[in-house]
Chain A
Amino acid sequence: MSGRKKTLLKVIILGDSGVGKTSLMQQFVNNKFSHQYKATIGADFLTKEITIDSNKQVTLQIWDTAGQERFQSLGVAFYRGADCCVLCYDVTNEKSLNNLTSWKDEFLVQSNVSNPQDFPFIIIGNKIDVDDSKKIPSLQKKLQNITNNQLGGLNYPVFETSAKDAINVESAFEVIAKMALQQEELNDANGNDVSDDYNDAINIHLESESSGCAC
Chain B
Amino acid sequence: MSPIVKLLAQRIALSLLLLLLISVVIFAGTIVLPGDVAQSILGQSATPEALANLRAELGVNDPPVQRYFAWLFGAMQGDLGTALTSGQDIAQALSSRFWNTLFLAFWAAVVAVPLAIFLGLLAVRFKDRWPDKMISAVTLASISIPEFLIGYVLMYFIAVKLRWFPSVAMVNDSMGLFDKLNAIALPIAVLTLVVLAHMMRMTRAAILNVMQSAYIETAELKGLNAFQVIYRHAFPNAIAPIVNVVMLNLAYLVVGVVVIEVVFVYPGMGQYLVDHVSKRDVPVVQACGLIFAAVYIGLNMIADIVAILSNPRLRHPK
Whether chains A and B associate is: no
**A residues with CB within 8 A of B:** none
